[in-house]
Amino acid sequence: MASTGPPQSLKRSDTSLTREGDQLIITPLGAGNEVGRSCVYVSYKGKTILFDCGIHPAYSGMAALPYFDEIDPSTIDVLLVTHFHLDHAASLPYFLEKTTFKGRVFMTHATKAIYKLLLSDYVKVSKFQLKICYMMNKTFFAPWIKLRVIDFHQTLEVNGIRFWCYTAGHVLGAAMFMVDIAGVRVLYTGDYSCEEDRHLRAAEIPQFSPDICIIESTYGVQLHQPRNVREKRFTDVIHSTISQGGHVLIPAFALRRAQELLLILDEYWSNHPELHNIPIYYASPLAKRCMAVYQTYSNSMNERIRNQFANSNAFDFKHISPLNSIENFNDVGPSVVMASPSGLQSGLSRQLFEMWFSDKKNACYTWVHYISFSAHADFAQTSTFLKELMPPNIIPVHGEANEMGRLKQKLITQFAYRNTNYFPKELSVG
């Protein structure tokens, strides 16, 4: 079924590369010059791959889907999902059940475990119109039997397509996929981060260069502050607010940076005995359920966490307690609450915001203090990654059109000494 929504000019035209008389076609069905509904179609020598299958959070109903009407789903051999976030994976049930797709789907073990919890929660709470499409199927989770798992660095082959994956950072289980069709290699990074944080490894650099690199460009030419600077700003504002008797509200996605922020807070409280009587709560039933998955796949995390798990559970927080509802919240004295949703549109984060924001002693990190703990690559990471990889063809995706254009120009300047092709040659944004 066709999706409708933004103007057609937001869609990127096909990128075609010719190799020995055969045409390799790459078509972004989403996230071509936007952030949302990541989905990239690749076809070469009669073999077809789809990378990711997300939704666009800014649109509703069928308009949020990738442009599936641009392709014939029955021709796709393999669908590779990089990670569990909705903008990369939420249209997968629709694609499996409502289209002619007959191929195979792969994701990492951790991605599959968290994705099932995340999507189940999403269907329950979302007013998104696709919920109706999903629930029309009596067995909503029937597609789960079609999902296969892949280990990092494991090489698999389906219908002559060889593929394997590398650690991408970003979130637990996130992978970047390398695909080999008849000797032509395509690397799809998905969302990635080359910076190790408190629990995740940094993205790996593949040991050999691909012929084509399809790379995220979320931050374009922007640079992140050093992580230690961001952490200090974060804890300084919290400590200052608590010292004045105020409340701190941290609206956060249940499964984006919540686990990272909880690790920072628990360590900071442990190092400051004067704060031990100040409660910290995280209010997300989904985050609580997913903690068990994080514990199960601790071996996929960085060395710091793996060493800690040898003696204790890194996610068994000493100073942080779950909060199920506002009725269970004893609002007496200063406190810190991390609550979802991050957009404050509803739920506990919205309720606490309305309770607290009128008091100048309180702090809300969405409105009063913005500190980015994004796990996307910035320009420094992107340029270093590409310098190491040296792909002859680069295709940016997952970025706002103007930001992608600036990134392209800066890369052309930085790598002027290399014979590198950048696609598309132009972006249509009007």
Q: Is the per-residue pLDDT at 7 higher than 60?
A: no
Kindly provide the b/e burial profile for residues 155-186, where b requires at least 16 CB atoms within 10 angstroms of the residue's own CB. eeeeeebebbbbbbbbbbbbbbbbbbbeebbb
Kindly provide the b/e burial profile for residues 333-365, where b requires at least 16 CB atoms within 10 angstroms of the residue's own CB. ebbbbbbbbbebeebbbebbbeebbeeeebbbb
Residue 103 · residue 78 · CB < 8 Å: yes
What mean pLDDT is predicted for residues 151-158? 97
In the three-class reduction of DSSP (H, G, I as helix; E, B as strand; rest coil), residue 236 is classed as helix
Q: How far apart are CA 149 and CA 151, in angstroms?
A: 7
Query: Over the stretch 168-194, which tens digit does the pLDDT of each residue have?
Result: 998 999 999 999 999 999 999 999 999
DSSP category for residue 135: H
Q: Where is pLDDT greater, at 188 or 14?
A: 188
What mean pLDDT is predicted for residues 353-372? 61
| Predicted local distance difference test score (pLDDT) of residue 5 | 38
Q: Is the per-residue pLDDT at 340 higher than 50?
A: yes
| Predicted local distance difference test score (pLDDT) of residue 142 | 53
| Predicted local distance difference test score (pLDDT) of residue 11 | 41
pLDDT band (50, 70, 90) for residue 8: very low
What mean pLDDT is predicted for residues 41-53? 96
Q: Is 239 a catalytic residue?
A: no
Query: Over the stretch 207-247, which tens digit does the pLDDT of each residue have?
Result: 989 999 999 999 899 998 888 888 898 899 899 989 988 88
What mean pLDDT is predicted for residues 253-281? 88
| Predicted local distance difference test score (pLDDT) of residue 310 | 80
| Predicted local distance difference test score (pLDDT) of residue 138 | 41
What mean pLDDT is predicted for residues 123-140? 48
Q: Which of 34-43, 107-116, 373-382 has the lowest mean pLDDT?
A: 373-382
Mean pLDDT over all residues of the chain? 83
Q: Which of 83, 170, 376, 398 is catalytic?
A: 376
Q: Is the per-residue pLDDT at 427 higher than 70?
A: no
Query: Over the stretch 383-413, which tens digit does the pLDDT of each residue have?
Result: 999 999 999 999 999 999 888 999 999 999 9
Q: Is the per-residue pLDDT at 13 higher than 70?
A: no
What mean pLDDT is predicted for residues 340-359? 73
| Predicted local distance difference test score (pLDDT) of residue 75 | 97
Q: Is the per-residue pLDDT at 374 higher than 90?
A: no
Residue 220 · residue 209 · CB < 8 Å: no
Residues 6+ apart with CB under 8 A from 388: 205
| Predicted local distance difference test score (pLDDT) of residue 106 | 97
What mean pLDDT is predicted for residues 344-351? 73
In the three-class reduction of DSSP (H, G, I as helix; E, B as strand; rest coil), residue 300 is classed as helix
What mean pLDDT is predicted for residues 318-329? 81
| Predicted local distance difference test score (pLDDT) of residue 245 | 87
- Of 74-88, 372-386, 398-412, which one has max mean pLDDT? 74-88
